[in-house]
């Protein structure tokens, strides 16, 4: 039993075979998927998928890449979407200083606004953080995020920073990059972080893990991330699968 805690199965790369891919999940051991929005449109699409398939849950939010023209009216619309039955978190929200697709002051403003929305709705947050550790942590420290919890997705920070993230009441999710050769920092973080705080994800269609790196990723490959975590921690695949699934269900509050 595996839980892909972060997927984008609504992406156009699945237009030709989405149904087939999704229906092959359960026979591949994937029992739960959180499909993540990155703007209003993909948030709506995530809800549509969640309504159609019992094992898919939706996360709604606006990614830092897409905040440039965001308005307060959009936040109100997001709030309405978040009231839908199978919405389990607000995300993905955060900062991305690697691509800098939106001005940094706007990234920060809308990251904060969406944390406030999550606190208001009492929903956990799914955080995207790339090359923006210091500002991201500074913003998170300003809010009582412990009350809602959440996930630092595709974690790429140090083992040191992981400790502070955990102290804030958040979990860390690891994706394909942890399987890449020479990713010493990712391996160190997995080794240091207690299994009770680890989630696994694909971030599909991106970030396919080894040995299928470079191909279109899908949720079935979360198995390869679980295998890597098991190898690093020296425990069984079954234990990683079981505990990371429990962790994701706890964070997303799935019964």
Chain residues binding Zn ion by CB under 5 A are 203
Instruction: Pick the closest to residue 217 from 2, 5, 13 (CA basis).
Output: 13
- If the CB atoms of residues 18 and 242 are measured against Zn ion, the closer one turns out to be 18
Cβ burial of 237 (10 Å; 0-12, 13-18, 19+) is middle
Least distance CB 177 / Zn ion (angstroms): 13
Q: Which of 69, 80, 141 is nearest to 106 (CA)?
A: 69
What are the CA-CA distances from residue 69 to residues 14, 66, 103 (Å)? 27, 7, 11
Q: Could you tell me the CA-to-CA distances from 250 to 3, 15, 190, 246 in Å, in that order?
A: 12, 31, 19, 6
Helix (H, G, I), strand (E, B) or coil at 212: coil
Minimum distance from CB of 239 to Zn ion (Å)?
26
Q: Kindly state the smallest distance separating residue 8's Cβ from Zn ion, in Å.
A: 6
Nearer to Zn ion, 93 or 117 (CB): 93
Name the residue nearer to Zn ion (CB basis): 44 or 242.
44
Strand runs labelled E in the chain: 2-7, 30-36, 56-60, 87-96, 125-130, 150-152, 170-174, 198-200
CB nearest Zn ion: which residue? 203
- Considering the complex, state which of residue 96 and residue 203 has its C-beta at the smaller distance from Zn ion: 203
> Least distance in Å: CB of 214 to Zn ion?
18
| For Zn ion, the closer CB: 39 or 203 | 203
Shortest distance (Å) from residue 201 CB to Zn ion: 8
Tabulate helix, strand, coil % of the chain (nearest 5): 50, 20, 35
Shortest approach of Zn ion to residue 6 CB, angstroms? 6
CB closer to Zn ion out of 66 and 203:
203
């Amino acid at each position: 039993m595996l839980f892909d805690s972060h997927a984008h199965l609504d992406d156009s790369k699945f237009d030709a075979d989405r149904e087939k891919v999704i229906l092959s999940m359960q026979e591949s051991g994937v029992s739960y998927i959180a499909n993540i929005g990155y703007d209003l449109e993909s948030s709506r699409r995530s809800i549509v998928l969640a309504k159609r398939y019992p094992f898919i849950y939706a996360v709604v939010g606006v990614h830092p890449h897409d905040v440039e023209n965001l308005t307060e009216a959009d936040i109100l619309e997001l709030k309405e979407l978040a009231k839908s039955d199978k919405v389990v978190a607000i995300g993905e929200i955060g900062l991305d200083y690697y691509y800098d697709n939106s001005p940094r002051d706007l990234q920060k403003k809308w990251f904060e606004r969406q944390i406030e929305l999550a606190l208001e709705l009492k929903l956990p947050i799914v955080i995207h953080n790339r090359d923006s550790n210091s500002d991201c942590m500074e913003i998170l420290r300003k809010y009582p995020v412990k009350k809602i919890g959440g996930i630092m997705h595709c974690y790429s920070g140090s083992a040191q920073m992981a400790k502070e993230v955990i102290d804030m009441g958040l979990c860390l999710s690891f994706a394909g990059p942890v399987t890449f050769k020479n990713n010493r920092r990712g391996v160190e973080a997995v080794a240091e972080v207690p299994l009770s705080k680890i989630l696994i994800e694909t971030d599909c269609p991106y970030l396919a893990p080894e040995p299928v790196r470079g191909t279109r990723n899908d949720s079935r490959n979360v198995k390869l991330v679980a295998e890597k975590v098991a190898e690093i921690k020296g425990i069984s695949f079954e234990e990683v699968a079981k505990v990371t699934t429990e962790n994701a269900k706890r964070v997303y509050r799935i019964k």
